[in-house]
Amino acid sequence: MMVNYRYAGSSGILNGLRDSTVALATNQLRDPTFFRASVRRPLLFREALAALHAVVISDFKFHPRDRLAFKTWLEAQDQKFLAGLAVKGEKQRQRMRELEARLGELDHARDERLKPFYRARKEYFDWAYVQAYELDFLYDPVITVHPDEVSFEAFSKDESSYARVAVRHDDFEGAGDFTCGTTNIDFSARLHNELDRMRDYRKTRLDLGPGGLTVKTEGQDAHKEKKIDLPESWVKGFLQVQSTMTLGLTHFQLEPVDLFNLLRFLRRHRARVSPRALRYELVPGKRVRVVFEPWEEVLEFGRCSTWDGPKAMSVRTWGRERLRTLARLLPVAQKIDVFLAGFGLPTVYVVDLGGATFTLALSGWTDNDWTSGGTKFDLLSRRMQVSPGELTACLDGLKKVRRATDVGLAQDTGQGLEKTRSALSYLCQVGRAMYDLGGGVYRHRELFTEPFTVKDAVAAVQGAATAKPGAPSIGAANTQEASAQGIFTRGGVLITARRPVAAGGYKLTGSVKGTDNARYRPLLTADAEGRIVEATCTCTYAQRFGLTKGPCEHVLALRLAHMSRLEAEDKGGV
């Protein structure tokens, strides 16, 4: 879909002798969003945004080397060799060598004469490349002003990394002039270069508003417009990230020196054979260890990483080179929280910077990015059916307080806890809310400029074709979910065992009659909020992919039966 941006000027920095102003131009086509305050620690603010820019421009996917120039040179050498074979006399060979030497002198003289032209052409192409690169490949970050923080969100160029910078209001002085809302900011390469010039001895002020650095022509309104062909996959990327963060993730902590040692090893070693993975070894009561494959080198983390889980586990993750984007945060980091989704599944790193947090969410591996549609982690989140009225009431309640826990929002809206949790999951899916993994709360965050109406809620719940372009529907939007809904509706699910687990969830086994009329034996573990933590099934899909591409239809059908029972228990006050 096409998304229009209009900026009254450009973002930039105004540097004085003793102070500087970071002016960020917001999108004028969205609701007014303002924030004006002085930055307490300019260096922390600089490094956080620099790490965000490092993620935005990163591209770790494999790209074959362009060998066109080499092939052209090789063909020229072949022609020269064949021409030399036809020369039989020594005088002719000597004459050919003299002509080749003279041709080399003429080529050198021509290059010297055309140097100014080549220099001017290079400057033009550099300028055109930057403009086209930012327009076609780098999307402007989404910025949201919350009552307690200001956040910046963006995807990497290869769309396998998601980054979020959240700076708390406590890290600003005079943060009383603000209006909560979501917008886009003009975040160009020029702004990044100017941010690198921020210093601690200059008092820095953040000015977020439509103005930015305005250049006005007499008689005209100054504005800068961008028209970006934004694919629907961009919105789906936010969906998958938020769905992953709401799962029951395995958590442990690292010290900054642990991440430094990990990155130093990766910088000094380059694997030329498979597997190229990080294998986290977690044993109850012991420090977490990471194994670098294929060398099987072991690095034991510090004391704060002691694992207190119920059982030992080993989790392999791929795409480890993407962690290099965190290098600039090491001098200002205080601790790092690591969240593992499972074998070959996404990993989330939350870096505590004191007055700010930096969240880096990595997809299962680089080629299996967040936005391609191959990942379906939203199916792992809770899927209890909600009505359009319940969905709208939940959104209105969240919009009123801007941030809330599921328990608090359930009390405010008067809806059951299970309904509220499902409605929040759905709102994250349609881009109207987000889950803050570091803070443990849901936040109101609008990805679209159009307001969310009752008509949109009906279209989303029913999966109608009238849904807003680019907004994924909540209903049966994919094959697995549609098949699971059909299996559950016609009574093809039998829960054979349902027993509680220590963490407050349930372990379920069942017998499911699939769409092919065959019987399958799914087994899943759901946490206290109904999210799938572990799952297996006897079907071919589950045996081949596991959970790396989302659960199979039989696991989803078993979870639907479980959620239906939870809803009945919630109504009965059990």
pLDDT in tens, 15-67: 554 566 665 555 555 556 778 888 888 888 889 988 998 898 888 887 677 67
pTM over 0.85: no
**Mean per-residue pLDDT, 238-247:** 79
Identify which has the larger pLDDT, 296 or 430: 296
pLDDT at position 233: 60
Report the percentage of the chain scoring pLDDT > 90. 22
The candidate with the shortest Cα–Cα distance to 367, out of 155, 56, 62, is: 62
- Which one has a higher pLDDT value, 243 or 445? 445
pLDDT at 217 over 60: no
pLDDT at site 344: 79
| Parallel/antiparallel/unpaired status of strands 161-168 and 277-282 | unpaired
What per-residue string of b and e applies to 315-327 under the rule 16 or more CB within 10 Å gives b?
bbbbbbbbbebbe
Which of the residue ranges 159-168, 212-221, 420-429, 516-525 would you say has the lowest mean pLDDT?
Answer: 212-221
DSSP code string of 342-370: STTS-EEEEEE-SSEEEEEEE-SBTTB-S
Per DSSP, the three-state class of 155 is strand
- In the predicted model, what is the mean pLDDT of residues 269-285? 89
* Average pLDDT along the chain: 78
Determine the pLDDT at residue 566: 74
pLDDT top residue among 400 and 225: 400
Q: Is the pLDDT of residue 226 over 60?
A: no
- Of the two residues 396 and 448, the one the predictor is more confident about is 396
Q: Burial-class residue 88 by CB neighbours within 10 Å (0-12, 13-18, 19+).
A: exposed
State the pLDDT at residue 266: 92
Among 122-136, 176-190, 293-307, the minimum mean pLDDT is found in 122-136
pLDDT exceeds cutoff 50 at 221: no
pLDDT given for residue 220 in this prediction: 39
133-147, 396-410, 553-567: least confident range: 133-147
Q: For position 215, what pLDDT does the model report?
A: 33
According to the model, what pLDDT value does residue 365 have?
A: 83
Cα-Cα end-to-end distance for the chain: 46
Contacts of 190 (CB under 8 A, 6+ apart): 10, 12
Under the banding of pLDDT at 50, 70 and 90, the label for residue 85 is low
pLDDT of residue 28: 52
Mean pLDDT for 445-474 is 57
The domains found in the chain, sorted by start residue, are 2-57+138-213 (3.10.150), 238-372 (3.10.150.10), 382-462 (1.10.10.10), 479-572 (no CATH)
Q: Which pLDDT score is estimated for 421? A: 83
The confidence score (pLDDT) of residue 532 equals 78
* pLDDT of 339: 93
Is residue 186 predicted with pLDDT exceeding 50? Answer: yes
Whether residue 275 is preceded by a cis peptide bond, meaning omega within 30 degrees of 0, is yes
Residue 383, both tokens: 């899927």
* Confidence at 225, pLDDT banded by 50, 70, 90: very low
Residue with the larger pLDDT of the pair 181 and 373 = 181
